[in-house]
Amino acid sequence: MAQTDSTPTTAGKQPADKKPSRKHAEKISARQRIQEAQRLERLAAQRRRRIVVAVSVVAVLALAGGTTLAISTAGDGKSSAESAAAEPTALLVPANATGPDGTVITYGRADAPHTLQVFEDFRCPVCKTFESTNGETVKKLADDGSVKVEYHLAAFLDKNLGGKGSRTALAAAGAALNEGVDKFKQYHDVLYANQPEEREDGFGSVNHLLDLAEQVPGLKTDAFVKAVTERTYAPWAAKVAEAFNSSGVTGTPTVKLDGKPITLFSANRPVTPEQFTAQVKQAAGLQ
């Protein structure tokens, strides 16, 4: 009878007592270093994204009743020593300002039967979407006497994104308001039409804001240039931003007709001018 070899076969297997080769160990170590580097890069990317968390999901626009993408975390972003040093401290309210402490800008006939409240931040990209879609409709409703428009302006995106563009643009808008309500409205529309990319702070430059003012006929007077350059209305802009923070509105854009929220987005899209007008008329009891 042939003798049977009782030793287990080792073909294709490494003996249990054989240690990994140096080359094999180096491969494992290199793979671990790569994995650790990838982990650190993911963490760094997450930190970089945090500064734009408030405006990083533009696709999510199914927003009922004015609840919006840009979310206020309170405060107007006025935190840097540089900004405080550059701004005057004396409060000067622009001519034509309305509301408590002059913190509201009213466009349209004072005796209009209904009030359309518009809450915005000049750096808010969704506000630009709203203005490009329904800004002209808002103006038409005010111009025909159906409503008067009250603008309540915020500056919280400076804090959320960094920079000073919201409050610098708001102060420049105050200088435009001092020239006239119509000048404010035109400048307001120009700012939204030329809004910088959300991660940039283009409105933080007074020179850029002065350049944009050239698009409004008759706005760039010596008084306007001086007020924008010297940031005359920065303390007023801070008051306006504080009033927004105390309003109970937590996001921009928000629109209300006589206190009743107007839906600005439906099925991830802005409502049409026809839909917007129908909502206003329904809220006003006109249909």
Q: What is the rounded CA–CA span in Å between residue 130 and residue 132?
A: 6
Check residue 28 and give its pLDDT. Answer: 58
What integer is the mean pLDDT of 192-199?
Answer: 92
Q: Which residues of 48-79 are buried (b: 16+ CB within 10 A; e: fewer)?
A: eeeeeebbeeeeebebeebbbbbebeeebbbe
**Which residues pair with residue 269 across a beta bridge?**
266
Q: Per-residue DSSP letters for 227-257?
A: HHHTTTTHHHHHHHHHHHHTSS--EESEEEE
What integer is the mean pLDDT of 119-128?
Answer: 97
Check residue 37 and give its pLDDT. Answer: 57
Check residue 88 and give its pLDDT. Answer: 86
> What sign for the dihedral angle of Cα 88, 89, 94, 99?
positive
pLDDT level of residue 50 (50, 70, 90 thresholds): very low
Could you tell me which residue, 69 or 211, shows the higher pLDDT?
Answer: 211
Check residue 135 and give its pLDDT. Answer: 98
Strands (E), the chain: 70-71, 105-107, 115-121, 148-154, 251-252, 254-257, 260-261, 265-266, 269-270
In the DSSP assignment, the letter for residue 100 is G
Pair 280, 113: CB distance under 8 Å: no
Check residue 71 and give its pLDDT. Answer: 61
pLDDT at 280 over 70: yes
Which residues, including other chains, have CB under 8 Å from residue 145's CB and lie 6 or more apart?
108, 109, 112
Could you tell me which residue, 214 or 16, shows the higher pLDDT?
Answer: 214
Residues in the chain: 287
Check residue 144 and give its pLDDT. Answer: 95
Question: pTM of the predicted model, to two decimals?
Answer: 0.74
Q: What is the pLDDT of residues 34-43, one digit of tens each?
A: 666 566 555 5
pLDDT at 4 over 50: no
What integer is the mean pLDDT of 162-172?
Answer: 97
Q: What is the pLDDT of residues 79-103, one digit of tens each?
A: 333 444 457 899 999 999 999 999 9
pLDDT at 122 over 90: yes
Token pair for 53 = 């968390």
Highest mean pLDDT among 33-37, 116-120, 264-268: 116-120
The radius of gyration of the chain from alpha carbons, rounded to an integer in Å, stands at: 29
Checking DSSP bridges between strand 115-121 and strand 148-154, what pairing results, if any? parallel
Torsion angle defined by CA atoms of residues 179, 188, 225 and 109, in that order, rounded to the nearest 10 degrees:
0
pLDDT at 260 over 60: yes
pLDDT at 13 over 50: no
Check residue 107 and give its pLDDT. Answer: 98
